[in-house]
Amino acid sequence: MSQEWDAGRLDSDLEGVGLETLAVRAGQHRSPEAEHSEALYLTSSYVFRTAADAAARFAGEVPGNVYSRYTNPTVRAFEERIAAMEGAEQAVATSTGMSAILSIVMSLCSGGDHVLVSRSVFGSTISLFEKYLKRFGVEVDYVPLSDLDAWSAAFKPNTKLLFVESPSNPLAELVDIAALAEIAHSKGALLAVDNCFCTPALQQPLKLGADIVMHSATKYIDGQGRSMGGVVAGRGELMKEIVGFLRTAGPTLSPFNAWVFLKGLETLSVRMQAHCARAQQLAQWLEQQPGVERVYYAGLPSHPQHELAKRQQSAFGAVVSFEVAGGKEAAWRFIDATRVISITTNLGDTKTTIAHPATTSHGRLSPQERANAGIGDNLIRVAVGLEDVLDLQADLARGLAAL
């Protein structure tokens, strides 16, 4: 917005409000049209009043937009809203979750730096480190997510960054984020957390001591499986580097997708509560079914990190993974017998999804990498949506009957 426009009471005073209010209202700066919903600025560039105005804006002497690879008002509203919800000084939006991870490493690490990554991260995250970042001299080692002693032991003098996903995909493993942040800082390294599975509605890693938090906004932030995007948030001086990389390299977020995510954030908290309630019910039910050998869900007292999950998260998330009796064929028969649930790897959607991680999301990993990540051939992942939970249970019962 140009510097002479003051929205005054058209914008809400958000001093001291809680997370759910921030999710609905933060980051909105109304234009002179006084629109109630967020305006969608579908424009790649901006005009200037005079040549001198253009020069001043390009030089950064006066605030204002120059080009949408740098800033866009709709994208900025999304960034400010996420920053407010995560308790970050600044957030920056990216074209996908993967480009968020790429931007973190490209801007904070150089060739010769060492990165520690938790073993059980998203499949493409491992491919990014293994196939590409290693080619540019970034050293990478993998550490079992929950084992703090293993983290301490894995440091090298050149360890610059720790990258973790907590809870992890698909096994819902956790790490004590506050304890890991302390270890990282005692060795002069930074901690970045992929907060995709919890969203800021359930967990705020920066408040636990992490330096950087990132999301695939494609998942719960959108919430209805429509748009790809990502976001990185953290302290000002770290964000300056990441923003610089993004503006130059260009994996920035489309204003349209930012607008979809703004709308998604407004219902995030109530959606997450409803997702989690259904997941809890289905996890408890699955645990009692013959044919199910093991259920991975942090809301179950049988989960080895149930107490940590209660302390660190305000709810347990909506991804339930389980191993069925038999191998790949049994898992495929289970999946193929469902009739309501979508067979797809996406998650964070109102529509429940079912997938076989070993041959989809984690199929590009070597058998050894898959074994390290604990992904068995008999593992099935369900990302619980918002349908009637009894219909979902009946659909999973079809799968069980097919075993």
Ligand X SMILES: *Cc1c(COP(=O)(O)O)cnc(C)c1O
Residue 223's closest CA among 100, 383, 390? 383
The reply to whether 86 sits near ligand X by the rule CB under 6 A is no
How many Å apart are CA 9 and CA 53, to the nearest integer? 28
How many Å apart are CA 115 and CA 189, to the nearest integer? 9
In the list 73, 144, 230, 399, the residue contacting ligand X (rule: CB under 6 A) is: 230
Q: How big is the chain, counted in residues?
A: 403
Nearer to ligand X, 194 or 266 (CB): 194
The reply to whether 251 sits near ligand X by the rule CB under 6 A is no
The reply to whether 378 sits near ligand X by the rule CB under 6 A is no
The reply to whether 166 sits near ligand X by the rule CB under 6 A is no
The reply to whether 194 sits near ligand X by the rule CB under 6 A is yes
CB of 344 to ligand X, least distance (A): 12
Q: What is the dihedral of CA 36, 202, 89, 207, to 10 degrees?
A: 150
Contact 248, 204 (CB under 8 A): no
Q: Is 8 left (phi over 0), alpha (psi -120 to 50) or beta?
A: left
Q: Give the total of residues touching ligand X (CB under 6 A).
A: 14
The reply to whether 195 sits near ligand X by the rule CB under 6 A is no
CB of 219 to ligand X, least distance (A): 6
Nearer to ligand X, 65 or 170 (CB): 170
Binding mask of the shown chain, residues 17 to 46, with x at each position contacting ligand X by CB under 6 A: ------------------------------
CB of 274 to ligand X, least distance (A): 20
Q: Which two tokens stand for residue 192?
A: 């970045």
The CA-atom distances, in angstroms, between 143 and each of 116, 302, 319 are: 7, 23, 22
Rg (CA), the chain: 22
* Bridge pairing between strands 353-355 and 342-343: parallel
CB of 62 to ligand X, least distance (A): 35
**Residues numbered 90-149 forming contacts with ligand X, rule: CB under 6 A:** 96-98, 122, 125
Is the four-CA dihedral 38, 39, 40, 46 of positive or negative sign? Answer: negative
The reply to whether 219 sits near ligand X by the rule CB under 6 A is yes
CB of 346 to ligand X, least distance (A): 8
The CA-atom distances, in angstroms, between 121 and each of 38, 189, 391 are: 34, 19, 31
Span from 132-140, 212-220, 233-241, 251-259 in contact with ligand X (CB under 6 A): 212-220
CB of 100 to ligand X, least distance (A): 7
Kindly list the residues in this chain that would bind ligand X in the complex (CB under 6 A).
Answer: 96-98, 122, 125, 165, 169, 194, 196, 216, 218-219, 228, 230
